[in-house]
């Protein structure tokens, strides 16, 4: 089977994954308007290519938080990779390392941090953190991540409560008994467990900007906030001394009706400028999507569901293929718009109606 674009990997995964698993990965909140608009928003953006630019050599490399990656696409944090492939996050880490890009490992991984590091010892990885009401569990995760050589902590800030995902409710989705949230094993009493092996409604709804100071006190690692959608919160993030922002609506899985991330990016970049690095996830399906995101101010983008489709296809090899497709498409999009390196990508490539 020869898969030539991310839609091919999506079709394969939908056909071969159990329906309950597919529904969990694909789910959006409520009517899934935001999930779907994440994709459609890119189709509304038009490019302004420059020609006669000698694009015989095109360099896709970039830097994020001081580390060079081979192209500006990383792997976003998603949970439960063993639902897609038996080796789960170990395969994800190997694929990211092989493609020389960043992998953000999830708190809700089905492999432990230690297993992920052992699978790809030289990999470039950040750790995504949820803060639970039992703060000691989150503190333990941060300290482990730093000790294991993770290079940043990515705090997800848009989940004081879980969004309503209708298909998961209809399917009564539960993590199969042979799988667990490995990073949190032993963190909660057995009688507390009810959701994914964790306490129901265990997220910390009292989380506030003051807790950024608390998190900074636990680690020397850079802090990146994931889930920012407004210029007001982006400004507060800068004022609280974080090193990065991921413009994210959680793949449309939290609050339905918020903007597509590419639409939210513009006002955030305008207020932040170059004070912190700005990244984006949600809706990336082609190399030209990557180019559009960078043109509107993102330093790098991260893919969520497409990484799971790659795993469902052929594990590490399948995910490497997904990343290679995006890298090849991105390089071609750069060449066809007259960009010889990432620094030449800018707002001049996007029609003024988008600015």
Could you tell me the sign of the dihedral formed by the alpha carbons of 179, 181, 186, 190, in that order? Answer: negative
Phi, psi of 213, deg, nearest 5: -60, -45
What region, left, alpha or beta, does residue 149 occupy, with left being phi > 0 and alpha being psi -120 to 50 degrees?
Answer: left
Structure tokens at 281: 């996830």
Please report, for the chain, how many H helices and E strands are present, in that order.
12, 10
Q: What is the DSSP letter of 188?
A: S
Concatenated DSSP letters of 290-351: HHHHHHTT-SEEEESHHHHHHHHHHHHHHHHHHHHHHHHHHHHHHHHTT-SBGGG--GGGB-
Report the distance separating Cα 290 and Cα 327, nearest Å: 9
Alpha helices in the chain (DSSP H): 6-16, 19-26, 33-43, 89-98, 113-119, 135-147, 166-171, 210-218, 231-239, 261-272, 287-295, 305-336
Per-position DSSP letters for 250-269, written without gaps between them: GGGTSSTTSPPHHHHHHHHH
Reported as half-sphere exposure (CB side, CA atoms, 13 A), residue 221 has a value of: 26
Task: Considering the candidates 81, 191, 220, 250, report the single residue annotated as catalytic.
Answer: 250
Judge residue 144's burial from the number of C-beta atoms within 10 Å of its C-beta, 0-12 exposed, 13-18 middle, 19 or more buried. Answer: middle
Residue 240 is a catalytic residue? no
What distance, in Å, lies between the first and last C-alpha atoms of the chain? 41
Structure tokens at 75: 């792997």
8 A C-beta contact, residue 265 and residue 280: yes
Q: What residues act catalytically?
A: 250
């Amino acid at each position: 089977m020869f898969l030539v674009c991310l839609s091919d990997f999506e079709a394969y995964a939908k056909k071969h994954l159990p329906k309950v698993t597919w529904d969990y990965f694909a789910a959006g909140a409520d009517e899934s308007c935001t999930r779907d608009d994440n994709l459609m928003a890119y189709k509304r953006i038009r490019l302004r290519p420059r020609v006669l630019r000698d694009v015989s050599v095109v360099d896709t490399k970039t830097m994020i938080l001081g580390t060079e990656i081979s192209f500006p696409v990383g792997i976003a944090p998603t949970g439960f990779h063993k639902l897609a492939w038996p080796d789960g996050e170990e395969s994800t880490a190997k694929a990211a390392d092989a493609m020389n890009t960043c992998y953000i490992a999830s708190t809700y991984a089905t492999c432990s941090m230690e297993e992920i590091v052992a699978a790809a010892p030289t990999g470039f990885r950040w750790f995504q953190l949820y803060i639970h009401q039992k703060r000691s569990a989150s503190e333990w995760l941060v300290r482990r991540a730093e000790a294991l050589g993770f290079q940043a902590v990515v705090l997800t800030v848009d989940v004081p409560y879980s969004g309503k995902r209708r298909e998961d409710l209809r399917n009564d989705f539960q993590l199969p008994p042979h799988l667990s949230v490995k990073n949190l094993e032993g963190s909660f009493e057995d009688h507390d467990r009810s959701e994914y092996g964790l306490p129901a409604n265990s997220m910390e709804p009292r989380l506030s900007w003051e807790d950024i100071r608390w998190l900074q006190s636990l680690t020397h690692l850079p802090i990146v906030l994931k889930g920012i959608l407004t210029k007001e919160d982006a400004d507060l993030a800068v004022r609280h001394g974080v090193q990065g922002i991921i413009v994210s609506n959680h793949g449309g899985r939290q609050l339905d009706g918020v903007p597509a991330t590419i639409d939210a990016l513009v006002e955030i970049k305008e207020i932040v400028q170059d004070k912190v690095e700005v990244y984006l996830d949600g809706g990336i399906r082609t190399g030209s999507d990557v180019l559009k995101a960078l043109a509107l101010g993102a330093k790098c983008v991260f893919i969520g569901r497409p990484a799971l489709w790659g795993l469902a296809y052929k594990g590490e090899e399948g995910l490497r293929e997904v990343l290679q497709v995006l890298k090849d498409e991105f390089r071609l999009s750069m060449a066809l718009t007259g960009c010889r390196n990432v620094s030449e990508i800018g707002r001049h490539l996007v029609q003024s109606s988008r600015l």
